[in-house]
Amino acid sequence: MVSLHQTGYVIKSNRESGQRRYDIAIIPQYASKLDIMLELKQKDLLKVKPSKIKPLLGSAAATAFAQIELNCYDTELRQANISKICQIAIAFCSKQFQLQHTIKTYPQNIV
């Protein structure tokens, strides 16, 4: 992650934005670059049948993805005039994971 900082990105975590705190944001120093917003969910599914892990992780990823929108985690970024935000929700258990993502584009404010 240090290399991200040296290439024009700042990494923030557990910061209040919107109605709650997001997990990780990788924020560009220039508003024209892509921002990455990560919401992570760790699930303890070690005692669950292997055939049920993928659907449960998918459901947890969907919940995390909805949480990004519901809690307006992009508020701080939009106030900083970030125009492209990649929202990623990842649910994981051990080495298995499921994710959902989207890229949103907003008009830049002209000052």
pLDDT in tens, the chain (111 residues): 455 556 788 888 877 676 678 889 888 888 788 999 999 999 988 888 988 999 999 999 999 999 999 998 888 888 888 889 999 999 999 889 999 999 999 887 654
Q: How many CB atoms lie within 10 A of CB 95?
A: 5
- Dihedral-angle region of residue 79 (phi above 0 means left; psi in -120 to 50 means alpha; beta otherwise): alpha
Cβ count within 10 A of residue 9: 19
Q: What is the pTM of this model?
A: 0.84
Amino acid at 101: H
